[in-house]
Structure 1
Amino acid sequence: MVARRLLLVGEGNFSFAAALSEVQGPGTSLIATCPQEATALAGDLVFQENLRRLREQGAEVRFGVDCTQLADAFAADGWKFDCIYFNFPHCGRKAGVAKNRELLARFFQRGFLETNSSHPVRTINEKLIAKLSKTFSLQRLKCPAPLLPEKGCDSDIAWSSDSPSASFWIVPQKEKIPHSELLAGETACDMEDFLVSFSRLCLQRDPEWNGKLETQKRIQSPAKFHLRPSLLVYAQDVIQGPYFLPGSLHILSGPVFRKCLISPFMLPAFHETLFIHGFNKKMSDSCLQLFLEHLKCSLQGLLTQRLPDGPELSSSLTFKPQKNKKDYMICVKPHNFGPDEIVGLVIGSVITSVTSHLYKDLDFVFASVNLDLLVMLVWGIPDWRILWTFDERFLDHFIPGKVEPFKTFSLYPPSYVHDVSFWLDEEIGFDEVEFHTVARAVSQDMITSIQLLNRFQHPQTGRVSLCYRLTYQTCDRALSHQQAVMIQNRFRNEIQQSLHVTVR
C-alpha cells in the first residue's frame, strides 16, 4: 500500500481530524494542527476526547500553527503532503469578509521567496543581493500585503494610457475593506502623486509591442482596489518609515501583478525586487554612478555565467535612458535564446528623478528588477508558465544556491490552433490587452500565442470585424484536442459577455 501523508490546518476542537483518522488505512500519516495553543483548549471536554482518539490512532497534533506560514512550520522535518484539508476557513466570529479573503489569499499564496524555498526565483534574488552586499550595507524589509487600496471617495488618479488595462481591479462586495497596512503604518499624504509619477514607467508595455496608444484616461474608483503592478508604489513609504537609514540599500521583494499580452516573455504575475538608496546631495553624482555600476555588473555577472555542462547563455545588458535622461529601463538582448524577433527584454527600471520633503539633503535612486525574467535568462527556461508549476520534475531540478542547465520535460508537446472572428461594438471599442486577459483566464494559461490574422471593415455598414488565431499548448502535461475545443468554445462565449463583441 502506498504511504499517504495528510495535513489538517485550522482545526477547532479536532472533531473532523479524529473522525478522519479512524477511517484511514495503514500507512497513512496524519498531522492535525490548530492556531490556538493547547492551554486555550484545555477546558473543552470535546477537544480532550478528540485528542485522545487522535493519539490512539497514532496521529500527530500540533498547536499554534499559522496556516499562512506552513513552510516555516514544517521546514525542519521537510514534510511533503499528499493532501491538505482546510475546513471552513475563518479568522474568528467577529472577522469580516475582508479578513477572511485575506486569510485565503495568504493561505494559497506560494512562497517562492521564503527562507526554506529552493525555487530559482529565490536563488537568483539571493545571488543578486549578495553581490550588492559587497559594496552596500543592506536593510531587508518585509513586503506589505498584495492589495493596494485607493484613497477616499474623492480620490481622482490620473494614469498613463497603459494603466487602465494594465491593472487588475477588484470591487469589494458590500463590506468596506480597510486600507492595507503599509510599511510606515499609515498612508503617505502624497501617494496619489507618487502613483502618477511612476505609472508611466513601471506599467508601460515592452518596447517590441507596437500597438497604438490610447488617449490618457482618468479613473475615479472610490470602491475599487487593485493588485499592485510594482513594488515602486511602496517606495515613498520606505523613505518615510521608521527603518529608513540614509546610505543603506533598502530591499523589498515580493510578487506583483499586471495585465499584459500573451507571450512567453510577458508575465501577468512575477516576483520583483526593489532597491531603494538615499545618499548625500553633495556626493550625488559619485554615489549614483557607484550604484549604477555595481547594479549593472551584478546583473551582467548573473547573465553571462557559464552553466555546468551546458552552453554559455550570454546576454548583453544595457541601461536605456528615458526621455528625461535621468531614468532608465534595464534591457537585455538574449543571445542564442528565445525567438529571434526579440530586440530586447525589459527586466527592470532605474529611477533617479526622485526627491523627498522629509530628507531635503538627500537624493534617491530606485531600482526594480523582474526576478522571473532574470531566472528565465539565466537558466534558459523558454516559458514563464513553468515557473509556477507544482510538478516535482521542475521543483526537484533546483538545488538551493546552485545554477544548473534546465532540461524541459517534453520535447514535443502537442499544440492546437483555433481561429475566432467577431464584430466589434463601435460605441464600446476594443481593448486588446483585455482580450488577451480573458483568453488567459478562460484557458488557465493554456494559450501560448494570439495573432491578429485579419481586420475587415464592411463596405456598406462600416462595421469592423477582427480575426485572431489562438495556439493552445501546456508546459507540463499533454493537452488533448477535446480539451482545446472545449476551452475554445468557452472563450467564444466569454468574449461575447465580457467584451460585448458578436462572434461570427
Structure 2
Amino acid sequence: MSKTREVLLVGEGNFSFSAALSETGGDDVGVTATCFQSENETYRQEGVALNVQRLRERGSVVLFEVDCTCLKEHEALQDHLFDCVIFNFPHCGRKSGVKKNRVLLMKFFLSAVAVLKDNGEVHVTLCNGQGGTPCDSPMREWHNSWQVVAMAAEAGLILREIRPFECEMYQGYRCTGYRSQDKGFHVEGALTHIFTSSLPHTMPEKLKMEKTVGKETVCFELPAELSNYINRNFLGQQSHHPVKTVQEQLHRELKSVWPVCTINEDFPELVYCLPEMLEACDPTLTHSEVYWIKPTDTYVFDQSETKQNDCESTDDQQSFTGSYALRPSLLLHVQEITQNEDFSPGTLYAVSGLVFQRVPICPIRSPAFHQLLLVGMFPVESHPLRCFQDSLESLLIPYDVSFEEVQTGLEQQVWINSKMLPKFGRITYLPSISSAVDEGLQLVAVSVNLDHLATLIFGISDWRLLWSADPRFLKHFELSPSGPFSPFSLYPPSYLHDISFWMDPENYDELDFHAIVREASCGVVKNVALVDRFRHPHMGHASLCYRLTYQSSDRALSNSQVLALQNQLRRLLALRMQVTLR
C-alpha cells in the first residue's frame, strides 16, 4: 500500500486547482486546501461552492482565513507536517511593486518550512519574468524581479527544479487574480519553482592532528580553513565519488600500455621538508604556497628502548631543525617509492592522495585536492615521455585538455593544461633522482590534479561541489556514475561586498588574508579580487580594497547570512592581522 503524500495549498482563490489536484492524485494524495479570505467572502466567487464540494467528497480538508506567512499559528495546521506546500501566483495585490512581493515570498518561505517534513518540497508558481532566473523568457534584470531563489534562501531552501506550469493538466482549473478578482493572472509561460531544504553553513574549526613522520609522532593544529578537506575518504574502496571514478579511468587507460602497481601504503600528509626538497620535486611551488606547520608536541620513539619518550613541547626542543609542512605535492614521495625493494624498471607505480597548497580564493584553484602520482623507470629509447603523453591525450582531448612540451636546460617536461586551469598536471623526467640508476634507464613521473579533471569530465561548474556534504551530490554518481553532473541547486544567488583596510606592506601577507576570508565565510566566498590600491606618500602604509563574491553551489545563501559573514570577517581581520579597517 502506497504512502499518502500530504499536500498543503495556500492562497487558493476559487479552489479549482485544489479540486483538480485532489482528483488527479487520487488516494495517493491527501490535500489540505486553504485561502486567505473568510468563508462568506470566498463563497461569493463563481464555482467555489462546487469546488469545495468536490474537495470534501474526496476527504480533503478545506480551511479559510489562513495567512500563508504564519501557517504554524493556525490551529488546524500547528501539529501537522506536509510533504509539499504549494503557492500558485502569490501577489500582494494591486500595484504593490517587486519589493513588497519579495517580502511576501520571504515570509511565506519562512512560514512554509515550519510545516514541512524532512525532504519535503515547496512549490511556487510565478508569472513569466517574475522569478528572476534564466528560465524566464525574457529574463528581467535582477533588481526588477522577485528574486525568488534569494527569498527562498532566507528560509534555508534551494531551487531544485523549474517546470512549466501546465494548467491544462488540471481539469476545471480557472486562474483568478489577487483575492479572487475577476482579472486572472497570466498563466501563459508561467513557471513552477520547486524548492527543497539545504544543509546549514558551519563555521570551520581548528582540528588537533597527530601524524607519524619518520621516528617522530607530531602533534599539531590543522588550519581552520582546511578542516572540511580532512578524513573524507573520497578514494576509499566503497567510494562512488567522481574523483575516485576519474582515478580508476586513468588506471584502466594506463594499464592497457604498461603494468601498473597501485601503492596502498598510507604516506603521511605531514612531511619533514626543506626548501631545497621542494625545488627538487616541483620547481613551480614557492615557499609561500606551502602550509608550514609548527608542531605543538612531538613524541620521539627511541629504538634502544621499548618505550616511548614523554611528550615534549617543541618550544623546549633545542635540536629541532628543518620544517614540517602539509605536503604540497606527492612528488615529495618519489624517493620513498623508488627505494622500495619491490620497485623495478618497466612497471608504473601509482599513488593517490590529498595535497595542500596555499592559493588565493578563485573559481579554479582549491587549497586541497587529490593528486595522482605515477612513477616508473623506462628505457630511454622507448621515449616514455611521448608514450605517456599519447596515452593521456587519447583519454583527455575530448575535455579540451592540451599538452605543452617544455625544455628547461637538461630537464624535459610536458605540462597538462585546461582552458580553466593551466598546469594542472605534469609529465617529467627526474634526472636528479635517476642519476644513480642503471645507464639507459630514465625515471619518469606523472602528476595530475584529479579534482580538476573530475570537474572537466563530469561538467561540474564549481570545484567546491566536490567537497559538498549534501548526500544528493554523491547520490547522483551512485545512480549515474559516468553521466554528466546535474546540479541539485539551480541558479544560486551571488552577492558582492567590498572590504578595505590600511596595512603595512612590509608585514602584509595576502595569502593570510585569503585564509581568514575562507574561515570567516565558511567557504562561501567564490572569488576575491583586488579592485583598488593606494599607498600613502608620507606614511608608507597602503590601503587595499578587495571585492568578495559570495555564492554557494550546494547550500542556501541569503543576503542576511552574507551580511553576518561579512561582519564576522571584519572582526577576524581586526583580531588576526595588523590592519586598520576602513
Q: TM-score of the superposition, structure 2-length normalised? A: 0.54
Alpha-carbon offset, residue 236 of structure 1: 1.4
SS of corresponding position for 1:490 = helix
In the alignment of these two chains, the number of paired residues is: 343
Q: What is the aligned partner in structure 2 of residue 484 from structure 1?
A: 562
Whether the 8 Å CA contact 2:372–2:448 is kept in 1: the answer is: yes
Q: What is the aligned partner in structure 1 of residue 546 from structure 2?
A: 468
Could you report, residue by residue, the CA deviation over 1:8-35 in whole angstroms, capped at 9, with x for unpaired residues? xxxxxxxxxxxxxxxxxxxxxxxxxxxx
Alpha-carbon offset, residue 443 of structure 1: 1.5
Whether the 8 Å CA contact 2:496–2:548 is kept in 1: the answer is: yes
Distance change in 2, residues 1:394/1:426 (3 Å): closer
Whether the 8 Å CA contact 1:165–1:434 is kept in 2: the answer is: no
Q: Within the alignment, does 1:421 sit opposite 2:500 as a pair?
A: yes
Consecutive unaligned residues of structure 1, counting only runs of 5 or more, are 1-88, 180-219, 305-313, 334-341
Counterparts of 2:320 and 2:495 in 1: how far apart (Å)? 40
Counterparts of 2:220 and 2:533 in 1: how far apart (Å)? 46
SS of corresponding position for 1:326 = strand
Could you report, residue by residue, the CA deviation over 1:249-276 in whole angstroms, capped at 9, with x for unpaired residues? 1101111111111112101111111111
Q: What is the aligned partner in structure 1 of residue 39 from structure 2?
A: none
Q: What is the aligned partner in structure 2 of residue 50 from structure 1?
A: none
Q: Pick one of 249, 256, 261 that aligns with 1:127.
A: 249
Distance change in 2, residues 1:222/1:494 (3 Å): farther
Whether the 8 Å CA contact 2:258–2:348 is kept in 1: the answer is: yes
Q: Within the alignment, does 1:319 sit opposite 2:404 as a pair?
A: yes
Counterparts of 1:158 and 1:271 in 2: how far apart (Å)? 18
Whether the 8 Å CA contact 1:272–1:368 is kept in 2: the answer is: yes
Counterparts of 1:442 and 1:435 in 2: how far apart (Å)? 11
Counterparts of 2:506 and 2:228 in 1: how far apart (Å)? 40
Letter in 2 for 1:413: P
SS of corresponding position for 1:318 = strand
Counterparts of 2:229 and 2:564 in 1: how far apart (Å)? 31
Q: Within the alignment, does 1:495 sit opposite 2:573 as a pair?
A: yes
List aligned pairs for 1:396-475, cutoff 5 A: 396-399=475-478, 402-428=481-507, 430-475=508-553
Whether the 8 Å CA contact 2:425–2:448 is kept in 1: the answer is: yes
Q: What is the aligned partner in structure 1 of residue 339 from structure 2?
A: 240
Alpha-carbon offset, residue 392 of structure 1: 1.4
Alpha-carbon offset, residue 162 of structure 1: 5.4
Whether the 8 Å CA contact 2:504–2:540 is kept in 1: the answer is: no
Distance change in 2, residues 1:106/1:385 (3 Å): closer
Alpha-carbon offset, residue 460 of structure 1: 4.0
Q: What is the aligned partner in structure 1 of residue 383 from structure 2?
A: 286
Q: What is the aligned partner in structure 2 of residue 330 from structure 1?
A: 416
List aligned pairs for 1:16-415, cutoff 5 A: 98=218, 109-142=231-264, 143-150=266-273, 163-176=286-299, 222=321, 224-281=323-380, 283=381, 286-300=383-397, 304=398, 314-321=399-406, 323-324=408-409, 326-333=412-419, 342=420, 344-354=421-431, 355-361=433-439, 362-399=441-478, 402-415=481-494
Counterparts of 1:392 and 1:297 in 2: how far apart (Å)? 33
SS of corresponding position for 2:371 = strand
Counterparts of 2:542 and 2:221 in 1: how far apart (Å)? 41
Alpha-carbon offset, residue 125 of structure 1: 0.6
Counterparts of 1:132 and 1:446 in 2: how far apart (Å)? 37
Distance change in 2, residues 1:107/1:475 (3 Å): closer
Letter in 1 for 2:528: I
Alpha-carbon offset, residue 233 of structure 1: 0.3
Counterparts of 1:386 and 1:107 in 2: how far apart (Å)? 12
Counterparts of 1:444 and 1:178 in 2: how far apart (Å)? 38
SS of corresponding position for 1:486 = helix
Whether the 8 Å CA contact 1:423–1:466 is kept in 2: the answer is: yes
Alpha-carbon offset, residue 418 of structure 1: 1.5
Counterparts of 1:245 and 1:165 in 2: how far apart (Å)? 36
SS of corresponding position for 1:418 = strand
User: RMSD of the alignment, in Å?
Assistant: 3.2
Distance change in 2, residues 1:101/1:441 (3 Å): closer
Q: TM-score of the superposition, structure 1-length normalised? A: 0.62
SS of corresponding position for 2:341 = coil
Alpha-carbon offset, residue 161 of structure 1: 8.9
Distance change in 2, residues 1:156/1:406 (3 Å): closer
SS of corresponding position for 1:271 = strand
Whether the 8 Å CA contact 2:389–2:403 is kept in 1: the answer is: no
Distance change in 2, residues 1:150/1:353 (3 Å): closer
SS of corresponding position for 2:366 = coil
Counterparts of 2:376 and 2:562 in 1: how far apart (Å)? 49
SS of corresponding position for 1:327 = strand
Letter in 2 for 1:114: G
SS of corresponding position for 2:575 = helix
Whether the 8 Å CA contact 2:278–2:285 is kept in 1: the answer is: no
Whether the 8 Å CA contact 2:220–2:294 is kept in 1: the answer is: no
Distance change in 2, residues 1:274/1:401 (3 Å): farther
Alpha-carbon offset, residue 146 of structure 1: 1.0
SS of corresponding position for 1:394 = helix
Letter in 2 for 1:251: A
Whether the 8 Å CA contact 1:413–1:474 is kept in 2: the answer is: yes
Counterparts of 2:228 and 2:558 in 1: how far apart (Å)? 33
Whether the 8 Å CA contact 2:219–2:298 is kept in 1: the answer is: no
Could you report, residue by residue, the CA deviation over 1:117-151 in whole angstroms, capped at 9, with x for unpaired residues? 11110011101110110110111102412111247
Whether the 8 Å CA contact 1:322–1:329 is kept in 2: the answer is: no
Alpha-carbon offset, residue 412 of structure 1: 2.3
Letter in 2 for 1:365: V
Counterparts of 1:137 and 1:161 in 2: how far apart (Å)? 29
Alpha-carbon offset, residue 101 of structure 1: 8.4
Letter in 2 for 1:382: S
Could you report, residue by residue, the CA deviation over 1:264-303 in whole angstroms, capped at 9, with x for unpaired residues? 210111111111110134x2x5344223322332333xxx
SS of corresponding position for 1:346 = coil
Q: How high is the sequence identity, in percent, across the aligned residues?
A: 35
Whether the 8 Å CA contact 2:219–2:295 is kept in 1: the answer is: no
Letter in 2 for 1:231: L
Counterparts of 2:229 and 2:555 in 1: how far apart (Å)? 26
Alpha-carbon offset, residue 472 of structure 1: 1.4
Distance change in 2, residues 1:175/1:322 (3 Å): same
Letter in 1 for 2:247: N
Q: What is the aligned partner in structure 2 of residue 15 from structure 1?
A: none
Counterparts of 2:385 and 2:233 in 1: how far apart (Å)? 33
Alpha-carbon offset, residue 237 of structure 1: 1.2
Counterparts of 2:339 and 2:450 in 1: how far apart (Å)? 26
Question: Considering only CA atoms, is the larger Rg found in Structure 1 or Structure 2?
Answer: 2
